[in-house]
Structure 1
């Protein structure tokens, strides 16, 4: 029975892998465009944009730059044979090298890419790669994965985990089933992701070459820049992980000292407390390291994107024969330089850099310099945009945060909420939580109600809203909203349900998770 169920689930997932465009049987050939997909249905584009404004620090209004980028996207669509397909380019308030697309056909490009790219060739490479995902209809995989979730959740059985931990305290066969499924799904779905990225590269390079852009200054520069950034970011993450590990160990040692303080203050008890603190610190460090190590190791097997350098090597090997004997196009630098130099676009990029500098000054606790930089950042074309205003509000509060400073900070944030094109969900959340924390519950709820009404169709906003209403004391409403969220936006169900946990429920969940983790590690380490 168990083998039959598992075989059935495997057959279902293998079938999906073969028929969906990310499967092993679907490979794009560089230099050729696949047939245009038919029967497409498009999500509401405006709703899609609003959902992106509910993520991170929202979107950046840069009308002239967006017009330029949409002109390039129009060229990409025409070269792909789909000039009338929907979709536009929007700019995200992120300094990371970030670009992504959605099922609505929209492409979201970060400020980081605008500040880093050196030619139009490179920008077209990014846009054509992202539109490759749209063209190939890869967003249908999200729905397929969700269906596979429900089927495999009941069909998968973790035999190894069941044998290792089936009798461990707090760990049942259901936990083994879920763990086994999640690990298996992690192998299968990201495998589609790896094929997706390679196919999108090939699609994008084909379109880019047809448009006469340089491969060296386009795709090669794009992927090399991405690879360098990813390596630098990995180093930053490792440093941050080590800082977290040290904090966990220090906290565990401190807790051990507090628990044993009642035993007395003589030299023997003091020595015993220090020994216990050392043991607690080492154990906490072990669990944190084991958890981190398992995540890192598993991430190597389930990484959605393949190695960027490997992608570049593979793509170069396919493109070079197509370019043999043909003149190499000159890089298109001047149009990109002109777009960056446009007055409002240049001012916007400058102001976001000032905001980043202000954040650095805040971290250094140089509040005078931070406020000066933030005032300049939140001026001109960015006077109502979320990130500069959030930075200025922090600078206005300063080190003390008296009543007048808090009021100025609130007025700063209100500038964003009063500007429909710039309005960002994160500002509503920050403003409402600030009021709640200062004891102004009714005013806080008014702000949250207004924001949630505006962003009601944005699933990314729901977990924050649910968490706010719970923390404001209305846990019944929080749980009702979590149920609505799970029904309307299934992919956000877990986040919404977690946000609706009361402190007592969250503490109990954490206690159970810790118990399960300890029992599993005990068995794996044969304690």
Structure 2
């Protein structure tokens, strides 16, 4: 059985969006301007918290500033041309080689490196962004059962599963560097078609081509959905929210889009000269950054033997002299190579540098914590784990990792010591908090168990399954026997 965390699955048009909650305080009144300012402040807080959640899952976000600036400039034009009043939104780049694009409840739009690298034109890119923005502008999350809790529930599951891998710190970058999305929120047919319509109206009103924009975008989705279906049918059960029947067939979406395009009597815009997006992606500095992320993502797969480790060290040396040398993802993967080579001081230096970056991710904190646990320096391990936990706003997605940490400290500390008592108190507090988070409760339960307890639970589960199978078999045999009487 393959580990779902390291399967590179294609993800098509994800989204999770919500309308801003109305701010109301009993017994007080406010002017429309004050209410608007309060709402915007609340949304800004939600967007910052959402970015933190992204940085504690998978390989986090990629820092490619020229591309981010271009994406957000396009989004500003889309917001101006889209449904009014404009919904707050911002674009971020997911450090993922797969095809991922989704909108969070706060209005943050995330597009993966893999998708950006594959986009054929700026027309298609605008269609993609306008489609995702359409989910936010149309308040689809508030009418959709899946919402953000399911999405971040999966991310919490992933964090918990990674935290239980005993090959740390090597396995952490391995899991996150080849992180493939396995989520596809179940937008209804009408919601997908509505977002498609917004993408068409907005992109063509801005002067972009229909055939190279919205149509090319849906044609790519059609090709990818076929590829996903054919690539590995055995993985379908690992897709927490599969690309389900509630999504319109890509061919149906194309047909609906063609009809809308003809009904609006719009003409296909003439092709512009140089394509701004392709020109940007062709720049040497941008190509170098994309290449650095890809090369770093490939490093863990190189560590399977001595020859590969030598090549990995050469690659790390080159990356640490390149344009992404101070990026947390590059530093974290470099630390993995240093760890494999028993070069502990360099590993610690790389991880410490990663934690001080303004766009740091959870992984270096976790790796440092596991290193100090292995050295039985429990206070140092707790300090770094708590620093990361606090930095990212104590998200529920990190409950399993923190529960696992305090359970290890509790079990390894001297009996009745202050260290053990404090770890137990923290453990109990986290477990009580996790009860209120049903999306993470199973992972929290697993994190609370020792290896022996997990093995026993697995044996009991397997025994129960065999017992149920035997009962079912007996019932079938009885039915057959009775049928011949």
Q: TM-score, normalised by structure 2?
A: 0.70
Residue 144 of structure 1, CA deviation: 7.9
- Distance (whole Å) between structure 1 residues aligned to residue 149 and residue 292 of structure 2: 45
- Distance (whole Å) between structure 2 residues aligned to residue 395 and residue 71 of structure 1: 38
Residue of 443, 461, 470 corresponding to 1:495: 443
Evaluate the alpha carbon distance shift between residue 215 and residue 137 of structure 1 in structure 2; reply closer, same or farther with a 3 A threshold.
same
Residue of 36, 41, 47 corresponding to 1:45: 47
Evaluate the alpha carbon distance shift between residue 379 and residue 224 of structure 1 in structure 2; reply closer, same or farther with a 3 A threshold.
farther
Residue 408 of structure 1, CA deviation: 1.8
- How many equivalent pairs are there? 392
Please name the residue that 1:276 is paired with.
Answer: none
- Distance (whole Å) between structure 1 residues aligned to residue 329 and residue 378 of structure 2: 25
- Distance (whole Å) between structure 2 residues aligned to residue 500 and residue 472 of structure 1: 12
Evaluate the alpha carbon distance shift between residue 69 and residue 303 of structure 1 in structure 2; reply closer, same or farther with a 3 A threshold.
same
Residue of 74, 78, 81 corresponding to 1:79: 81
Deviations 1:56-109 (A, max 9, x none): 111122222211111111111111143653221111111111111111111011
The answer to whether 1:477 aligns with 2:426 is yes
Going by fraction, where is helix more abundant, 1 or 2?
1
- 8 Å CA contact 1:101–1:133 kept in 2: the answer is yes
Evaluate the alpha carbon distance shift between residue 368 and residue 508 of structure 1 in structure 2; reply closer, same or farther with a 3 A threshold.
closer
Please name the residue that 1:92 is paired with.
Answer: 94
Residue of 461, 476, 479 corresponding to 1:513: 461
The answer to whether 1:224 aligns with 2:226 is no
Residue of 81, 104, 107 corresponding to 2:106: 104
Aligned to 1:423, the other structure's residue is in SS state coil
Larger Rg, first or second structure (1 or 2): 1
Residue of 210, 227, 246 corresponding to 1:215: 210
Aligned to 1:303, the other structure's residue is in SS state coil
- Distance (whole Å) between structure 2 residues aligned to residue 361 and residue 323 of structure 1: 54
Please name the residue that 2:381 is paired with.
Answer: 444
Deviations 1:189-229 (A, max 9, x none): 97654443333222222222222222221223223334434
Bigger shift: 228-237 or 437-446? 228-237
Please name the residue that 2:262 is paired with.
Answer: 321
Aligned to 1:310, the other structure's residue is in SS state helix
Aligned to 2:303, the other structure's residue is in SS state helix
Deviations 1:259-311 (A, max 9, x none): xxxxxxxxxxxxxxxxxxxxxxxxxxxxxxxxx8xx489987x8276366335
Please name the residue that 1:355 is paired with.
Answer: 296
- 8 Å CA contact 1:425–1:461 kept in 2: the answer is no
Deviations 1:228-251 (A, max 9, x none): 344445555457x6xxxxxxxxxx
Deviations 1:23-58 (A, max 9, x none): xxxxxxxxxxxxxxx999846221111111111111
- 8 Å CA contact 1:348–1:382 kept in 2: the answer is yes
- Distance (whole Å) between structure 1 residues aligned to residue 387 and residue 103 of structure 2: 28
Evaluate the alpha carbon distance shift between residue 233 and residue 410 of structure 1 in structure 2; reply closer, same or farther with a 3 A threshold.
farther
Please give the residue correspondences for 1:384-423 in structure 2 after superposition, counting only pairs within 5 Å. 384-398=326-340, 401-402=341-342, 405-420=343-358, 422-423=359-360
Please give the residue correspondences for 1:243-254 in structure 2 after superposition, counting only pairs within 5 Å. none
Residue of 100, 118, 121 corresponding to 2:123: 121
- 8 Å CA contact 1:352–1:377 kept in 2: the answer is no
After superposition, the CA RMSD in angstroms is: 3.6
- Distance (whole Å) between structure 1 residues aligned to residue 402 and residue 58 of structure 2: 15
Evaluate the alpha carbon distance shift between residue 193 and residue 56 of structure 1 in structure 2; reply closer, same or farther with a 3 A threshold.
farther
Please name the residue that 2:64 is paired with.
Answer: 62
* Unmatched 5+ stretches in structure 1: 1-19, 22-37, 149-188, 242-291
- Distance (whole Å) between structure 2 residues aligned to residue 310 and residue 196 of structure 1: 16
- Distance (whole Å) between structure 1 residues aligned to residue 319 and residue 376 of structure 2: 31
- 8 Å CA contact 1:417–1:424 kept in 2: the answer is yes
- Distance (whole Å) between structure 2 residues aligned to residue 304 and residue 457 of structure 1: 36
Residue 442 of structure 1, CA deviation: 2.7
Q: TM-score, normalised by structure 1?
A: 0.65
The answer to whether 1:375 aligns with 2:317 is yes
